[in-house]
Amino acid sequence: MNLAFKDRIAWHYMLATAALIAVAYAVVFLVVQQQVYADLDRSLRYEAAKHQQELTIVGGKILFSHKGEWQEREHREVQVDPVFIQINDLQGRLMDRSPNLKADQLLFAVRTDGMSLLNSELRGKAIRQVQEPIVREGRPVGYLVAAISSEAAQHVLDSLGMVLLLSFPVVLVVLFGMARRLAGRSIAPITEITATTNRITQSNLAERIALPPRPDELHTLASAINGLLHRVERAVEREKQFTADASHELRTPLAVLKGTLEVLIRKPRTSAEYVENIALGIGEIDRLTHLVDQLLLLARFENHAKSLNRQELTVVSCVHDVLYRLRNTLNTKHIRVDVQDGDTEPIVSDPFLVDLILENLLTNAVKYSPAGSTITVVLSSGADRLTCTIIDQGIGIRPDELGRIFDPLYRSDALAHKEIGGTGLGLSIVAKACALLHIKLDVQSELGQGTTFTLEFPRGA
Ligand code: ADP
């Protein structure tokens, strides 16, 4: 059934209530029925006991002793609630009956146990009857059957049954209507939430859903959607910023290249001038290529396109590989690297990404360290992890910038170290690669003192 939410709530509520009301109605009916029959049975028993006293046995036949009087009374009075009495022998043969029975007989059942009460009919009218054994000198000699009309009781029960039966669907329909109205009112904030959510597009991402006044589930839902909107807004802003920064970064080397070439063709140059300017141009093209490579790498991480290639590797040999590639810069800057390989056990990870991470961190350590300083790489083992710490004695990072250095294209305090080239993409690539490999990345830094990057590699895959 394709019901609206509020109709579903109302429907379930109505089903539960219908079951409860049905039980309550059944209990009411049974209690009233029991009470009505209890009253009738009391009168019946009284009449039966009374007539047991008025029996005589003549020549083996059981007869009423005051039948004459009785018959006379029948003629004199109009009985509203007549009592019918009948006597049967042990085999059920009729022996005597009250005058008001005329030619009719009451229902008789040969029973061995004591008294029995049952409903039956006399001349098409409902009666309630009791059948009791007649005992003389400790032996049953026959049965006395007494009956009274149960028409009135039956009428009361029929009317009650009818009222309950008719009121049942009416009560349910009213309940359904009320539950639907109340449910509609309780879920009204959902309509509001839907309307606001539908209104929100990229151009008005700052809009938020008004929170319902009561701190209930709908309040939680609205807060959760607002939180989601906030995160989406932040992501879109970051994306916009990234696009703006990336185009700016790409345009700068192009502008330098264009300027160089324009100056070059203005007039004939000596071959030394050509070599110098073309070398400048090639440098810019290299910078551009590096930038584009890094942007592509970042985009690959974003799309999760890079499938991981996990295999056994030792972090210490990765460190040495990177240092070997950096040997020229290290020599030029007279930087000493102290590798403390406290853990040389292999780990399972992606060699390409581990190399990328170490290369970026070690290149930065070299780049941002003064000539003649020392870089320390410490490899140590934890319970199920390998920790690699890269400590430099470089320029350090201001505390307020520490949280942003992993943002794409962010270069901390760029003006303070204009001479140190960079794209601002290295650390965001490191952060993405670490997230993919479940490596915990941490940074601590003190301005002018140095920076420490910590990598915690999980041992297994
Ligand atoms: P960049 O290409 O500018 O080096 P990164 O993403 O690698 O870009 O680093 C972002 C910024 O973090 C850098 O601009 C630099 O200011 C700062 N930074 C990174 N590593 C270090 C370090 N070892 N010492 C000092 N500053 C660092």
**423 CA: nearest ligand 1 atom:** 2
Residue 449 sits in the same domain as residue 360: yes
Which domain CATH number covers 76?
Answer: 3.30.450.20
Residue nearest ligand 1's atom 12 by CA: 405
Q: Is the pLDDT of residue 227 over 60?
A: yes
CA of 431 to the centre of ligand 1 (A): 13
Q: Is the pLDDT of residue 312 over 90?
A: yes
Q: Which of 113, 129, 160 is the last residue of a domain?
A: 160
Which 3 state secondary structure label does DSSP give 298? helix
CA of 176 to the centre of ligand 1 (A): 67
Which domain CATH number covers 233?
Answer: 1.10.287.130
Q: Are 277 and 444 in contact (CB under 8 A)?
A: no
Q: Which of 254, 279, 302 is the last residue of a domain?
A: 302
Residue 235 sits in the same domain as residue 342: no
Which tens digits make up the pLDDT trace of 379-435? 998 778 999 999 999 999 999 999 899 988 888 775 667 778 788 888 988 998 999
Confidence tier at 115 by pLDDT (50, 70, 90): low
Residue 419 domain boundaries: 308-458
Report helix, strand and coil shares of the chain as percent, to nearest 5: 55, 20, 25
**Residue 391 within a domain:** yes
Residue 269 sits in the same domain as residue 321: no
pLDDT at 315: 95
Q: Cα separation of 38 and 381, whole Å?
A: 89
Q: What is the CA radius of gyration of the chain?
A: 51
**Residue 250 within a domain:** yes
Q: Cα separation of 28 and 282, whole Å?
A: 99
Residue 318 sits in the same domain as residue 434: yes
Residue 287 CB-density burial (10 A; 0-12 exposed, 13-18 middle, 19+ buried): middle
Measure the N-to-C terminal CA separation of the chain; round to a whole number of Å: 48
The beta strands (E) that lie in 16-160 are given as: 55-58, 61-64, 83-89, 94-97, 116-122, 125-136, 139-149
Average pLDDT, the chain: 88
Which tens digits make up the pLDDT trace of 259-286? 999 988 998 989 999 999 999 899 889 9
Residue 150 sits in the same domain as residue 223: no
Q: Which of 302, 325, 357 is the last residue of a domain?
A: 302
**Residue 138 within a domain:** yes
Residue 155 sits in the same domain as residue 286: no
Residue 348 sits in the same domain as residue 438: yes
pLDDT at 245: 80
Residue 400 sits in the same domain as residue 268: no
Which domain CATH number covers 387?
Answer: 3.30.565.10
Q: What is the pTM of this model?
A: 0.56
Q: Cα separation of 392 and 336, whole Å?
A: 10
Residue 290 sits in the same domain as residue 386: no
pLDDT at 91: 85
pLDDT at 337: 96
pLDDT at 189: 83
Residue 317 sits in the same domain as residue 295: no
- The set of protein residues with a Cβ atom below 6 angstroms from ligand 1 is 360, 364-365, 368, 392, 394-397, 405, 410-412, 422-428, 451
Q: Nearest 5°: phi and psi at 311?
A: -155, 170
Name the pairing type of β-strands 139-149 and 311-313: unpaired
Q: What torsion do the CA atoms of 66, 71, 75, 77 make, to the nearest 10 degrees?
A: 40
Residue 283 sits in the same domain as residue 328: no
Tokens coding 281: 């141009």
Which tens digits make up the pLDDT trace of 152-193? 999 999 999 999 999 999 999 999 999 999 988 888 888 888
Comparison of pLDDT for 308 and 45, the residue scoring more: 45
Q: Which of 427, 445, 447 to mutate to test the pocket of ligand 1 (most atoms within 8 A of CB)?
A: 427
Confidence tier at 77 by pLDDT (50, 70, 90): low
Q: Cα separation of 94 and 63, whole Å?
A: 11
Comparison of pLDDT for 182 and 59, the residue scoring more: 182
Length of the chain: 461
Q: Is the pLDDT of residue 97 over 80?
A: yes
Residue type, 415: L
Number of domains the chain contains: 3
